[in-house]
Chains A and B, each alone.
Chain A
Amino acid sequence: MKRITASLILTILVTLSLVNAQTAQTGTNGKSATNSPVTLKLPNKQDSVRFVVIGDTGTGTHQQLELAQVMLRYHQVFPFEFVLMMGDNMYGGEKAVDYKQKFENIYRPLLDQKVKFYAALGNHDDSNQRFYEYFNMEGQEYYHFKKGNVSFYSLNSNYMDKKQVDWLNEKLATDTTTWKIAYFHHPPYSSGGAHGSDTKLREIVEPIFVKHGVSVVFAGHEHFYERIKPQKGIYYFISGSGGKLRQGDVKEGSPLTEKAYDRDMSFMLIEINDKQMHFQVISRKGETVDGGVISNPRKTS
């Protein structure tokens, strides 16, 4: 079978000056979540697919709330339609009060503005979260949905069994969408000192991603942000500091790291229009800590 080499070009926009920058509010010192500057460096086109990626959120702490407040402020200038959650949505308990304290109370302003959350399950999550109204999982631990020309595959990396692998293979085989994105909790590649790459998971899922033209993979589990150097043409991101931070955990000089940020909590803003995926990573202080654009999604090989 002829293998079509995927062509992906990543341009790191150091200054990000080629895209429209919008400033909604400029704080006096930019050092707290409530008054930090909101500087958008994404095209922000109306017909784009716009969303956020967060992970490992479910602590219910003041820090999680602060990051959510920064998200809300960015939503005012960049009206993202939905949020992808990388799992560990609820630490330490699954009672009704936990759903409220660790999710609803934190993201209420976004929920009120009809922002939808699409969750994946982590190693701290009860399977019953798949029934929760605000996680939009349709009662499934792994599921698929489309937005414009983008296909999303939310997987349960905590239990990647044969049934799930078969489902993923079958679903991807008939998917003709331009962009195929997979997201789940455990990172196949990571420079984290505490966990590191999930090689057993990678052994199973990466050949499927390569075969079926998955371009981008988002994961969490590690409590920091990392952009991995492209692996077999696929861009891997870790966004796992939405509620917890493992400061200084990224191994210095890791050959996997293209860019990492482990000094504070963060989330990712993503915009996909036609053949480009723009991303901007925002810290709890509202600072942009990474950004760039991925061009030309991969094709099925």
Chain B
Amino acid sequence: MRINPVLAIVGAVALCLVTVHQSAKGQTAHVLSPNEKQIAETFEQRAKAYTKMREQLEAQMPKLSKEAKPEEIETHKKQFQERVRAARTGAKPGDVFTPEAATYIRAIIKDEFKGKDKIELRDTVLRESENKEVPLRVNYPYPESQELLEMPATLLMRLPQLPKQLRYRFVRSNLLLVDRENGLIVDYMTNALP
């Protein structure tokens, strides 16, 4: 089957315009290929599996009030950490960030941060950040003394969506998955920065 070159050019230009328009609105510009969709879904399922496990554990604990005392917050976090750590004994890097997912996510980050944006991101994460002391260990807590570096909003619009209990975090050149309540490092992938 022959493709009309004029139609192909018109189609390409239209696609570019849509992409530019969507980018300007801060929305996802990239349409996922079937393979990318599959990788993203698998990653999201693994993240959800962790979340389901930790939800079950948290449900067995006394519920933290919306008007909690500092001591209650501290105790809840500590106990929650202990339970999840015990349940995930043997957890290792790559349990959630599979090699395919890591490659896919690296590509998104690389595409999002080009030129000046890339320089600024590297500068922020590698030089300015106050989280360089975070030990890279799965199933260990992210130290409270270390900054939780802001995740760029435009990047969050493009990365696979996480359950609300999980957060992406840059630490040095790595991308971590951190549980927002118990503070545990659920997984990490290396060489995440463009």
Q: Which residues of A contact B (CB under 8 A)?
A: 92-100, 123-129, 131-133, 137-139, 157-163, 165, 185-186, 194-195, 198, 200-201, 203-205, 207
Contacts and interface: CB of A to CB of B under 8 A. Distances in A.
B73 A131 contact: yes
Contact of A158 (B117, B148, B154): B148
B64 A131 contact: yes
A200 B183 contact: no
Nearest to A88: B147
Interface in B111-165: 117, 128, 130, 144-145, 147-157, 161-162, 164
Nearest to A96: B70
B56 interface: no
| B: contact size bracket | 35 or more
Of the candidates A129, A131, A138, A157, the one having the most CB atoms from chain B within 10 angstroms of its own CB is A131
Contacts of B65: 131, 133
Contacts of B69: 96, 133
Contact of A200 (B64, B70, B148, B155): B155
A124 B152 contact: no
A158 to B, nearest CB: 5
A162 B157 contact: yes
Given A159-B156, A205-B153, 20 more contacts: A93-B145, A94-B73, A94-B77, A94-B144, A96-B73, A97-B70, A99-B70, A99-B73, A124-B130, A128-B64, A133-B65, A158-B148, A161-B156, A161-B161, A162-B156, A163-B164, A186-B150, A200-B153, A203-B153, A204-B154
Contacts, number: 106
A141 to B, nearest CB: 8
Contacts of A200: 117, 152-155
B68 interface: yes
B147 A124 contact: yes
13 contacts: A92-B145, A95-B70, A96-B70, A123-B148, A131-B72, A132-B68, A139-B66, A157-B153, A160-B151, A162-B157, A201-B152, A204-B26, A207-B26
A206 to B, nearest CB: 9
